[in-house]
Chains A and B, each alone.
Chain A
Amino acid sequence: MSAATKKEKKITEKMRDLVDKTIQRGVKGVQFARSGKANVGQSPKDLIYDRGTLKLYHYHPMSDEVYRIPVILVMATTNRGYIFDLLPGQSMVEYLLKRGFDVYMIDWDPPMPSERGLSLADYTQDFIPSCVERVQQESGEEDVNIIAYCMGGVLSLIYAATHLDGPVKNLACLTTPINWQEMGLFNNWTNQQHLNLDKLVDTLGVIPADFIERSFSMLRPAAKTAGQLRLWDQMWNDEFVTSYRAFERWGNETIGLPGTYYKETTQELMWGNKLFTEELIVAGKPAKLSEIKIPLMHIVAEHDHIATYGATKPLLELAGSEDKEEVVLKGGHVSLIAGPNAVRRMWPKINEWLGERSV
């Protein structure tokens, strides 16, 4: 075949590909517009504890034998826990179950008006300990491990620091902010000189979900439009579209926060930076990271725009544990947990670290 014929064939193939994709974009675009919510969180599970905003799930095992120590996933208070179990094949829960972990998850429902007064103490001295107790009953094991995401990590650290002889044997934090003065734009928006925190909390009671969602979106104002452009480009690609729909649903289903909890977080962590300075006191107990001695792993994302690397980095320096490790991975705040790279990078790391400490 001559070079000219080869070139002609290549151009024809490219044209065909372009036309094919354009047609598919049209057809699948209509399907996309008519489709309902993405089917997320499909791994079989039982709700074993349910109290107001708090939900504790136990996932059905997927292996013939499991590690001795059960693992509890602690979700951030602003979002739904199904980010851990996004889609079959794109689920950290499924990954852990198949590798022999007995998995539980603490998830949060939107708080109701009567829960406006929930505080950091309620989350760390009541909700988490109650769930740990349930897991101990359900599994018959005294020890537990915790994997906690973002603000779930902050709560778990406070819990661990105030329950030094507690049953937590290993703690893995994912993108957990410690130095809140490094929280970038959040710092500016909640500037003590300008924000009337009392008025905000007293008027709203429960900080609405759209308020929280707006502040996340404002960190990257172009992300939504850019995402939609990428979706249009990839509309022919079923795998991409399924994943996009799941992430989009998760992003839209932000959860509101109890006013008192929001106020305390802003005052104590953002303004006072007390987790970092080790001055935090919760329910009369000091919550010092340097007192935590259990094995600790912190996985942080290189391009995290919410909990920046500057905000997450001090955990390893402050924690009193001898067995501690920081892992910096490529990705952002959300893609670290459930993005295409999570299966190659983050989940195997958790499996390896926690597996050898779970017997």
Chain B
Amino acid sequence: MTKKDQSEKPSATFNDWVSQWERTVDKFSNQFMGTSEFSQSINLMQNMQLEYQRAFGEQMAKQLANFNMPSRDDILELSEVMRDIDRRMARMETAINKLEKGQARGANKKPTSPPRTKRPPVKKA
């Protein structure tokens, strides 16, 4: 874009500036995140976090069991069962709807789908 165009469109100047800023930040960050030191430190932090998460989770599960309350794992298990029930219900609903539509259309008539006769357009020479 020429300087004249830019002066006429402040929005374009703004966009150019944003793009430039984005490129600079990303380039600098990528250089930093591409080092072995960065890899070592994020993985170290991650390990510490996982260790903490595991220990805290175990402790919390014990405490919740003492209070006769469900743990996170119990809730997740329950939500999975709920999801399965939900899906079964949805499948049954779909089947009933299909059956109803079939009856409305006449029991022996199959739902119409377009014929598989489509040919690609002829290429111009």
A219 to chain B minimum Cβ distance, whole angstroms, is: 8
B96 lies within 8 A of chain A by Cβ: no
Contact A222–B50 (Cβ < 8 Å):
no
B87 to chain A minimum Cβ distance, whole angstroms, is: 6
Interface residues on A, range: 35 or more
A94 lies within 8 A of chain B by Cβ: no
Q: Which of A102, A185, A204 contacts B30 (CB 8 A)?
A: A185
Can you list, as one digit per residue, whether each of B17-42 has a CB less than 8 Å from chain A (1) or not (0)? 01101100110011001111011101
Contact B43–A191 (Cβ < 8 Å):
yes
Q: Which of B39, B114, B120 contacts A359 (CB 8 A)?
A: B120
Contact A65–B118 (Cβ < 8 Å):
yes
Q: Which of A50, A63, A221, A234 contacts B26 (CB 8 A)?
A: A221
Task: Note all chain A residues with C-beta closer than 8 A to B80.
Answer: 112-114
B44 lies within 8 A of chain A by Cβ: yes
Q: Which of A14, A65, A356 contacts B116 (CB 8 A)?
A: A65
Contact A63–B118 (Cβ < 8 Å):
yes
Task: Note all chain A residues with C-beta closer than 8 A to B68.
Answer: none
Give chain B's interface secondary structure class: helix
B73 lies within 8 A of chain A by Cβ: yes
Q: Which of A184, A194, A225, A359 contacts B119 (CB 8 A)?
A: A359
Task: Note all chain A residues with C-beta closer than 8 A to B113.
Answer: 61, 66
**Which residue of A is nearest B47, CB measured?**
A196
Task: Note all chain B residues with C-beta closer than 8 A to A184.
Answer: 30, 34
**Which residue of B is nearest A196, CB measured?**
B47
A39 lies within 8 A of chain B by Cβ: no
**Which residue of B is nearest A218, CB measured?**
B33
B115 lies within 8 A of chain A by Cβ: yes
Contact A18–B10 (Cβ < 8 Å):
yes
**Within A259-309, which residues are at the interface with B (CB < 8 Å)?**
none
A6 lies within 8 A of chain B by Cβ: no
B105 lies within 8 A of chain A by Cβ: no
Residue total for B at the interface (Cβ-Cβ under 8 A) = 47
B121 lies within 8 A of chain A by Cβ: yes
**Which residue of B is nearest A359, CB measured?**
B119
B11 lies within 8 A of chain A by Cβ: yes
Contact B120–A196 (Cβ < 8 Å):
no
Question: Taking A188-B34, A191-B43, A356-B120 as contacts, is the C-beta distance between A63 and B18 under 8 angstroms?
Answer: no
Task: Note all chain B residues with C-beta closer than 8 A to A7.
Answer: none
Contact A188–B36 (Cβ < 8 Å):
yes
Which of B34, B80, B116 counts the most A-chain CB atoms under 10 A from its CB?
Answer: B116
A100 vs B114: C-alpha distance in the bound complex, in angstroms? 9
B76 lies within 8 A of chain A by Cβ: yes
A4 lies within 8 A of chain B by Cβ: no
Q: A68-B116, A189-B43 are in contact. List 4 more A-B contacts (CB 8 A).
A: A196-B47, A200-B50, A230-B15, A355-B121
Show 20 residue pairs from A and B whose CB-CB distance is below 8 angstroms, ordered by the A residue: A50-B87, A50-B91, A65-B115, A112-B83, A141-B116, A188-B35, A189-B39, A189-B43, A191-B36, A195-B43, A200-B50, A203-B50, A218-B33, A220-B22, A223-B22, A226-B19, A229-B14, A352-B120, A355-B121, A358-B118
